[in-house]
């Protein structure tokens, strides 16, 4: 008769072999299955590396670090965080490293922790064989390149929204994730809000009748919006701060002189590095429209948009806009800078308004919000929170709420609307071929040249 020790070793070997052979991804064996229910067990640990440690990146790092199965062992940023940001904060790799190590130092009964390594090149982090999961929370112009490289390196990925900065990059990410059998969760966290999921279940279950219109409200009334609109003078060239690899930060985009407003936070209002409010909050609000319409794997077939932006200065994203999109089934998605921030599903029997952020709901008739989702209605599932759901999917290999295809399709709509405003034209879009069929110049904007040596 074989010993328990031998049986357990054989069990691990058979389980891991079956998983790798059938699916090609890591297999996490519950400690209870090995008779070690009261131990954490190294085989249950999900090892995490975090790339991009600004404000949002640090927040995501903390969210992943706080999951019971994870251990953050590496951080990476081209900014070490030696100098203060314009907002008076210290952010970067060395600052994040200290946050991680202080966190684990304060915890008891955890597996042996060997410290957190800090890198200035994401490729060094991805080369580590012990890392299972990475977060990608850099400025938008880096999302695609890093996510593709991470998928090819065999890592599961939590990538901030918008998933990418061009449509061609988005398809490349989807293909890399599919081919390498990776889990990717786009950081569209509004999608995991239970109130928002309930509202979309009502819409998809026909409670407001046949949907004819979705209205998107993206007000530009925040203080940072007003500041961008007012900044029409050229920004001064400045010395690059100590500990900041600015050329690496630029990466695939054209060379440009350093000025502080080009980087931390403000990069989102420069088209080379971001898409303005259209891809900032727009990637949240339009994402919920896609969820409620059940169009996560497609998009509109016609798009019209017009907008206004600064004619001079550093910032060139659109700060005022209106748009009108039509889906193949005739539903229109109409957008403006109206208050409040959110979206309104309109049907022939009523409407539901979802506030972004927070998920407050309004409806007509108001009684809609007291209804129950029945057995034969659409069920969209629930989660504790967006990052928790990602970790659960890393373990189960199930599809998360915001996989690569969802993030790509939402980002595509945002980018197409920006392209429509840049070209001052109406666009016909083929969501299957992913081509603009009526404007060659606009179609050429689905990708952007990359500065050597960077390429997809």
> Mind giving me the DSSP string for 106-161?
T-SSPPP----EEES-HHHHHT-TT--EEEE-S-GGGHHHHHHHHHHTT-EEEEPS
Domain match, 99 and 135 both: yes
Domain match, 294 and 204 both: yes
E-state strands within 285-372: 302-309, 318-326, 332-336, 342-347, 350-355, 361-364
Q: How far is CA 22 from CA 17, 130, 181, 216, in A?
A: 8, 22, 11, 43
- pLDDT tens per residue across span 93-128: 999 999 999 999 998 777 678 899 999 999 999 999
Q: Note the pLDDT of residue 9.
A: 38
User: For residue 329, what is the DSSP state?
Assistant: T
Write down which residue in 172, 190, 208 finishes a domain: 190
Q: Note the pLDDT of residue 15.
A: 36
What 306-309 contacts at long range (C-beta under 8 Å, 24+ apart), as own/partner pairs, is 306/420, 306/421, 306/424, 307/421, 309/276
Domain match, 64 and 195 both: no
Domain match, 182 and 225 both: no
Cα–chain center distance at 352: 25
Q: Note the pLDDT of residue 113.
A: 84
Write down which residue in 190, 216, 236 finishes a domain: 190
Q: Note the pLDDT of residue 34.
A: 28
Q: Note the pLDDT of residue 108.
A: 79
- pLDDT tens per residue across span 168-179: 999 999 999 999
Domain match, 94 and 220 both: no
Write out residues in the chain with pLDDT < 50, as ranges: 1-42
Q: Cα dihedral angle (234, 237, 243, 248), rounded to 10 degrees?
A: 70
Domain match, 273 and 312 both: yes
Domain match, 312 and 377 both: yes
d(CA 256, CA 407): 29
Domain match, 140 and 222 both: no
C-alpha triplet 151, 153, 157: angle, nearest 5°: 40
d(CA 420, CA 425): 5
With respect to residue 72, please indicate whether it lies within any of the assigned structural domains. Answer: yes
With respect to residue 296, please indicate whether it lies within any of the assigned structural domains. Answer: yes
Q: Note the pLDDT of residue 234.
A: 93
CATH number at residue 303: 3.30.360.10
Q: How far is CA 307 from CA 19, 325, 356, 410, in A?
A: 51, 15, 22, 20
Domain match, 121 and 198 both: no
Q: How far is CA 62 from CA 73, 96, 175, 240, 294, in A?
A: 12, 9, 29, 28, 32
Nearest to 171 by CA among 452, 448, 446: 446
Query: Which alpha helices (H) appear in 272-354, and where do they start and end?
Result: 282-293
C-alpha triplet 398, 139, 396: angle, nearest 5°: 10
- CB count, 10 Å around CB of 365? 12
E-state strands within 208-331: 211-217, 302-309, 318-326
With respect to residue 394, please indicate whether it lies within any of the assigned structural domains. Answer: no
With respect to residue 387, please indicate whether it lies within any of the assigned structural domains. Answer: no
d(CA 270, CA 251): 15
Beta bridge mates, 297: none
Write down which residue in 190, 212, 235 finishes a domain: 190
φ/ψ (deg, to 5) at 118? -110, 130
Domain match, 232 and 138 both: no
Cβ(196)–Cβ(343) below 8 Å: no
Q: Cα dihedral angle (300, 303, 309, 312), rounded to 10 degrees?
A: 110
- pLDDT tens per residue across span 232-289: 999 999 999 999 999 999 999 999 999 999 999 999 999 999 999 999 999 999 999 9
Domain match, 168 and 301 both: no
CATH number at residue 66: 3.40.50.720
With respect to residue 279, please indicate whether it lies within any of the assigned structural domains. Answer: yes
Q: Note the pLDDT of residue 114.
A: 87
With respect to residue 11, please indicate whether it lies within any of the assigned structural domains. Answer: yes
Q: Hey, what are 256's tokens?
A: 């440009």
With respect to residue 397, please indicate whether it lies within any of the assigned structural domains. Answer: no
What total number of domains does the chain contain?
2
Q: How far is CA 43 from CA 37, 150, 429, in A?
A: 13, 21, 47
Q: Note the pLDDT of residue 43.
A: 52
Q: Does pTM surpass 0.85?
A: yes
Q: Note the pLDDT of residue 194.
A: 98
Domain match, 84 and 204 both: no
With respect to residue 272, please indicate whether it lies within any of the assigned structural domains. Answer: yes
Q: Note the pLDDT of residue 107.
A: 87
Domain of residue 332 covers: 191-382+404-446
């Amino acid at each position: 008769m074989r010993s328990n020790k031998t049986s357990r070793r054989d069990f691990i070997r058979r389980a891991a072999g079956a998983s790798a052979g059938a699916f090609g991804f890591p297999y996490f064996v519950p400690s209870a299955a090995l008779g070690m229910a009261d131990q954490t067990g190294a085989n249950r640990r999900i090892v995490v590396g975090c790339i991009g440690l600004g404000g949002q990146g640090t927040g995501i790092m903390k969210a992943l670090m706080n999951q019971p199965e994870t251990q953050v062992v590496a951080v990476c940023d081209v900014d070490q965080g030696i100098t203060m940001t314009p907002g008076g904060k210290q952010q970067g790799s060395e600052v994040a490293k200290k946050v991680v190590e202080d966190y684990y130092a304060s915890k008891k009964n955890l597996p042996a922790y060997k410290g957190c390594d800090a890198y200035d090149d994401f490729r060094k982090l991805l080369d580590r064989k012990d890392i299972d999961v990475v977060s990608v929370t850099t400025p938008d112009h880096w999302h695609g390149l890093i996510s593709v490289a991470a998928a090819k390196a065999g890592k599961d990925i939590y990538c901030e929204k918008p998933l990418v900065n061009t449509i061609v990059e988005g398809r490349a990410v989807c293909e890399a994730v599919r081919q390498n059998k990776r889990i990717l969760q786009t950081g569209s966290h509004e999608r995991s809000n239970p109130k928002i999921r309930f509202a979309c279940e009502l819409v998809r279950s026909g409670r407001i009748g046949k949907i004819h219109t979705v209205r998107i409200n993206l007000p530009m009334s925040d203080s940072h919006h007003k500041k961008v609109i007012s900044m029409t003078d050229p920004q001064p060239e400045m010395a690059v701060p100590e500990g900041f690899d600015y050329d690496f930060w630029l990466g695939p985009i054209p060379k440009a002189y350093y000025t502080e407003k080009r980087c931390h936070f403000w990069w989102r209002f420069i088209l080379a590095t971001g898409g303005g409010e259209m891809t900032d909050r727009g990637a949240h609000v339009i994402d919920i429209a896609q969820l409620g319409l059940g169009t996560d794997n497609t998009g509109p077939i016609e798009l019209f948009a017009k907008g206004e932006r600064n004619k001079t200065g550093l910032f060139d994203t659109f700060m005022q806009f209106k748009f009108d999109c039509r889906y193949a089934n005739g539903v229109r998605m109409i957008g403006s800078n109206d208050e409040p921030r959110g979206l309104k599903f309109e049907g022939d029997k009523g409407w539901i308004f979802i506030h972004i952020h927070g998920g407050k709901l309004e409806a007509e008739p108001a009684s809609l919000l007291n209804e129950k989702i029945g057995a034969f209605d659409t069920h969209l599932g629930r989660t504790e929170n967006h990052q928790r759901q990602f970790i659960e999917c890393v373990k189960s290999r199930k599809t998360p709420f915001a996989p690569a295809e969802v993030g790509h399709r939402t980002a595509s709509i945002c980018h197409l609307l920006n392209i429509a405003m840049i070209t001052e034209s109406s666009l016909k879009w083929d969501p299957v071929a992913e081509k603009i069929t009526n404007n060659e110049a606009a179609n050429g904007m689905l990708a952007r040249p990359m500065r050597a040596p960077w390429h997809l």
